[in-house]
A and B are shown apart, each in its own frame.
Chain A
Amino acid sequence: MSTDSTAALVKSPGAASDGPAEAGPSGRGPRSRSAAAYLRYVAGKLAGAAVSLFAVLVTSFFLFRMIPGDPVKHMTQGRPVSTEQLAAMRREFGLDLPLWQQFTDYCAKALTGDFGMSYQFRAPVIDKITEALPATLLLTGTAFVIYTVLGIWLGARSAWRGGKFGDRFGTAFALTLYSVPSFWLGLLLIVTLSVGVGPIPGVFPTGGMESGGQSGFAHVLDVAHHMVLPVLTLVAVEYARTLLVMRSSLLDEMGSDYLTTARAKGLRDDAVRRRHAVPNALLPTVTLLFVNLGNTVAGAILVETVFSWPGLGGLFYQALSVPDLPLVQGLFFLFAAAVILMNTLADVIYPLLDPRVGR
């Protein structure tokens, strides 16, 4: 790949200095050659992702078998059951088969999206997951959009006035929030804004996703009302990372010649920043953006637990305490798969955004 990509590499300075519009699909020059090379690159990345996904599948099966305790005994806790009943339950869940056969069955079924029956809910794992997924995506997706936009905007402003008071204060504030445990911030917000302390009245619900009994627009407003505090918690804890990456990559660009050229052309400071510096500095942030996107599925275990949000994170925690093996396996696979897929997507898209990268 490296030899073919030099063609793209040579024309990079021009592409970079022309701003975002020209930084699009790689190379108009030797298109056929770089297109073939790009396809080979994509194929390599996809193969790597497939290997990783299989490794995750193997891990999800064996790791949780080590949890001490007999799931069948746990399920029948407090009820008198005969040995025959226990054996029947084992057969029902396929726990009587030898381990290797359980494993091959598991892999074969997982390929079709079937992760078996949940022990505690007596329902297919995939149904439980699709049930809880929208709640999680709504919460983390909203937070993701807000903290990404906020982080990029604040990071760019911060770097542009590097070293000034606003920059120092903004960075210090973001770093402080970054060090705060998300579950603690959630608890504090509940205490002050839901329960109310002293003169502050409790205006937000303490948890859950809806009050129930509403429909239409009132229901939408109700869910939004429930979302305010969890989203606020996630944004506060997460935006610092985007801010820091954006800030340092813009600082790297600050000394570049093409910015001097842009200024020499007589462009206003604002235009130099928005049209030339920021688009180039966005590139490293794009990678982080995809990593964050992959984590949105699993990223809210704590916030969901604290705010009793009916999402995947809460489900995972609930499943671990049984242990509800099929559900834990399915969720673990889903969490890791989301990260792997998003990382692969980032790898695939990145050369299109930045022709200089042809690795």
Chain B
Amino acid sequence: MTVHETTDGAAGQGGAAPRSARALARARRLHALARFWRQYRSHRGGVFGLAVLVVIALLALAAPLLAGEESRSVTDATGGALEEPSGEFLLGTDQFGRDVLALLLWGTRVSLMVGLLAAFLSVAIGALVGITAGHFKGWYATVVMRITDWFLVMPTLVLAIALSTVMARSLWTTILAIGVTTWPTTARLVRAQTLAVESRPYIERARALGGGHGHIMARHVLPNVMPLVLAQTTLVISLAILTEATLAFLGLGDPTVVSWGGLLQDAREAGAVSSGNWWYITPPGLAIALVALAFTLCGRAIESVLNPKLGVSR
């Protein structure tokens, strides 16, 4: 999306009075944003994904009100072990007699937080590596891209499992393990985009006017790769949420927090599988799939707004 360069006259001609450069820039950005939203709205999948995310984010924020602090505690549990769904416990209880629905609500927070932070870390590393490798050519780019390629061929899950085993069990370990293993794709994408941007004449102009490396990367390249980074972030979030659940399921997550993957591990350990307690096993997985799908749908919608060549629903 080359929004930041388009000399969109419409926004600037709004009033007769001359406006400051800053006001013009702001008006242009608002205009671009409005256009983006108009195009995004035409992707039904993207709108559905966004709606789901808004609802889930609200549920995550409201978890303490809806479920209550004591619902996570094993000692304060009110129900019997592995009860079937009833009026009191809509989704039944776990082996400690806790309400599965309440645990599910609490798990929303962990999954969203880990997913967002890990994706943020991953995309930040990827964008930094990609922009610098595209900007500074020569040995620096060669070395950095070799490292990127090396990370790219490592089996992501194997490496993430290895890292989580090596470090202490905590949410930060999970975030770090996911962030460190998933950045190379972003780095490659961003580098390609950076090379494309840097070959444009206005970069040469900026350089001729005395713009330094930092200025060019931050003021010219970054705004142009930002849309791509945004689309990539939403896609990485769904990957991160799935990986977090996977690590927690393998017992590599933080044992002290309630997460969706951890719930599934608890369920498996409690023998919910062999005794056919589907009501305990189904909800956490559905929640993971729903959130991952929602982020994927948003990412694809953003992608196809930015790159219409990909087709309406690539």
Contact = CB atoms under 8 A, between A and B. Distances in A.
A335 interface: yes
A244 B311 CA distance: 12
B54 interface: no
Nearest to B267: A187
A251 B314 contact: yes
Interface stretch (A59-67, A93-101, A135-143): A59-67
Interface stretch (A71-79, A115-123, A168-176): A168-176
A55 B147 CA distance: 10
A350 interface: no
Nearest to A331: B158
Contact of A183 (B166, B264, B276, B313): B264
Contacts of B150: 52, 55
Given A64-B166, A298-B158, A316-B158, A340 B153 contact: yes
Interface string A132-171: 0000000000000000000000000000001100011001
Given A64-B166, A171-B313, A197-B276, A181 B158 contact: no
Nearest to A186: B273
Most chain A CB neighbours (cut-off 10 Å) among B154, B277, B297: B154
A320 B264 contact: no
Nearest to B311: A251
A179 B292 contact: yes
A248 interface: yes
Chain A facing B: main interface SS: helix
Contacts of B158: 298, 301, 316, 332, 335-336
B166 A163 contact: no
Given A181-B245, A323-B165, A188 B281 contact: yes
A63 B166 contact: yes
Interface in B161-214: 161-163, 165-168
Contacts of B157: 298, 301
A192 interface: yes
A179 B165 contact: no
A52 B238 CA distance: 29
Given A52-B150, A191-B278, A339-B154, A67 B166 contact: yes
A295 interface: yes
Contacts of B162: 63-64, 320, 328, 332
B310 interface: yes
B66 to A, nearest CB: 24
B166 A188 contact: no
Contacts of B274: 195, 206
A125 interface: no
Contacts, number: 128
Contacts of B297: 175
A191 B155 contact: no
Nearest to B281: A187
Contacts of B149: 52
A176 B167 CA distance: 33
B238 A305 contact: no
A66 B177 CA distance: 14
Contacts of A340: 153
Contacts of A176: 289, 293
Contacts of A339: 153-155
A131 B313 CA distance: 45
A186 B108 CA distance: 22
A255 to B, nearest CB: 10
Interface residues of B, number: 48
Contact of A191 (B246, B273, B284, B293): B273
Nearest to B242: A181
A343 interface: yes
Interface in A321-359: 323, 328, 332, 335-336, 339-340, 343
A251 B158 CA distance: 34
A179 B296 contact: yes
Contacts of A185: 285
Contact of B242 (A179, A188, A295, A335): A179
A180 B287 CA distance: 9
A335 B157 CA distance: 11
Given A196-B276, A206-B274, A295 B296 contact: no
B311 A188 contact: no
Given A55-B150, A184-B288, A187-B264, A192 B165 contact: no
A204 interface: no
Interface string B260-294: 01001001100001111110011011001110110
A305 B269 CA distance: 13
Interface in A49-63: 51-52, 55-56, 63
B45 interface: yes
B276 A180 contact: no
Contacts of A248: 310-311, 314
A277 interface: no
- Which 8 pairs across A and B sit closest by C-beta, in order of nearness? A184-B285, A179-B293, A179-B292, A195-B276, A66-B166, A180-B289, A298-B155, A179-B289
17 contacts: A66-B166, A163-B313, A171-B313, A175-B296, A179-B293, A180-B288, A180-B289, A181-B245, A184-B284, A188-B281, A188-B285, A191-B278, A192-B278, A195-B273, A298-B155, A302-B250, A320-B165
Interface of A: 51-52, 55-56, 63-64, 66-68, 162-163, 167-168, 171-172, 175-176, 178-181, 183-185, 187-188, 190-192, 195-197, 206, 244, 247-248, 251, 295, 298-299, 301-302, 305, 316-317, 320, 323, 328, 332, 335-336, 339-340, 343
Given A175-B293, A187-B281, A195-B276, 7 more contacts: A67-B166, A181-B261, A196-B276, A244-B314, A248-B310, A320-B165, A336-B158
